[in-house]
Amino acid sequence: MPIYNEQHVQLLLTMRLMKMHREGFDGVTYDDFQRIFTKYILKNQMGATLNQITDRILNISTDTIIRYLALDATIRSKQQSLGDVLTEGDL
């Protein structure tokens, strides 16, 4: 059982997201960030210690995060129908 709670992870994700915003990636939202960290980056680290999670979140490169965001966008777009994509574009 991990020795941290979700608030710790939320704080770490917020700190890393703020760093990305300072680097010029203002279009990345917290929801995007949380989704890729949950789905890809922290997927196999559920039993990890807070120190390990902290290291993983704060030290991952921006390039790696962008690659995961691109992967997630590709997967999500393939799951949507063409009509859904066109409807979103009309908003």
Q: Mark residue 24 as left, alpha or beta (left: phi above 0; alpha: psi -120 to 50; beta: remaining).
A: left
Quick one: angle between helices 6-22 and 50-59, nearest 10? Answer: 20
Per-residue pLDDT of the chain (91 residues), as tens digits, is: 444 578 888 999 999 999 999 999 999 999 998 999 988 888 877 667 888 889 999 999 999 999 999 999 888 887 776 566 566 555 4
Residue 46 DSSP label: T
CA dihedral over 86, 38, 8, 63, signed as positive or negative: negative
pTM of the model: 0.75
